[in-house]
Structure 1
Amino acid sequence: MADPLRVRWLGTVPYREALAVQTSLFEHGTGQHLLLLEHPHVFTYGRTADLATNLKCEPATVGAELVAAKRGGDITYHGPGQLVGYPILNIDNKLGATGHVCGVEGLIIDVLTELGVPNAGRLEGYAGVWLDAGTERERKICAIGVRLKKGRTMHGFALNVATDLAFMREHIVPCGIGDKPVTSLAEEGIDVTMEQVVAVVARCAADRWAAGVAERQDVAWRHAADGRDLT
């Protein structure tokens, strides 16, 4: 029997609190986990980030935190309307961080294809998932940054569902890539709720990392009168 993937939708969680949870699971746990959540507005940056160039605002003035993260990559944004996923997995060290990134990209490509975005794929030389890669219209819909240590992973992906893209277009150079735009499912005309996206991600992740065996627990989903998801 495959070790189940324990999928948890946590709702809206401040970045530092979510980091403490995943760090504990990463350093002291042995199971397979996928934490799915949204963050309040926050900019995070990896070890090699160039903040002098790529941070274009004072975070507090736009209602955001600025937090260092032990992951690869430059500065990125998390906020409402963006699905953040933290796969905390046991993998063969021979796969390496690059191989793990490729696996996370594959997960998101599968999810987007199922949601009706057939033009999702990889862009050589750039981590993440892109639409119309290799064309004049290429644009990024999902950022990815991971950490791998002793066969255990943390950090993960940020999929733009109905994100306020002004935070990435006006306040930072996302992932340090200034010449390529960002997009979201909403901007691409894909009308889905966060709950629907989470369901597809959870199922595809279980298929990819646990032979379809999953344990899922969610915080309560609430819905506004206009159909928006609230947590």
Structure 2
Amino acid sequence: MSTLNLEVTQRAKRARAARKRATVWHFIGLLVVFLSSVFPFYWMVTTSLKSQADALAYPPKWFFSPTLHHYSAALFEHDVAGSLLNSLIIASSTTVLAILLGAPAAYALARYEFRGKEDLWFWFISNRMVSPVVLAVPFFLIATKLDLVDTHIVLILLYLTFSLPIVVWICTDQFRNIPIELDEAARLDGASPWRVFWRINLPLAMPGIVVSAIFAFIFS
């Protein structure tokens, strides 16, 4: 009996030792992946804080006196701040419009049956297959006719053409995953279709809406 207990104890010790070794190697592997992923960002930030001489030095300088001259030059001398503001206005406006138009459209496609539904769904999806270069010349000609060249609105409308299908695509699948019994129960309680959408479906579909908004903002 004592021999059996000794053998069981030794096996348990070997198992614990093997688990410890696996944990150590697992930690080392995660550390290597983490460092290899973070190092490019570290190098990018530190290079932006170096003077030109330090940035071009060989071998590279790991210790240096940081400077914000490059940031001030980019923001104020080369008008990067104005470009960033324009990008923020265009991307934010496009995202808001895409959500305001796309979420109700996605809800209608997910919940209601109507004539031409499949054709409308295919039209939304096929817009993602069109190369933006194909639409560049027609959009430019239309903008020229309407005197919208070099304005925010023309870029917002252009980006909305490609962002809206993404929002509809993601949100439609999100609304389809919400049990329709919730809508029926709300209607039995006297809720209007708009209230059912606003109070029940919209909060439940918020994860998909947020994801589609992030994609729309990035693409814009």
TM-score by length of 1: 0.20
TM-score calculated relative to the size of structure 2: 0.20
Larger Rg: 2
- Which structure shows the higher helix fraction? 2
Q: Which has the higher strand share?
A: 1
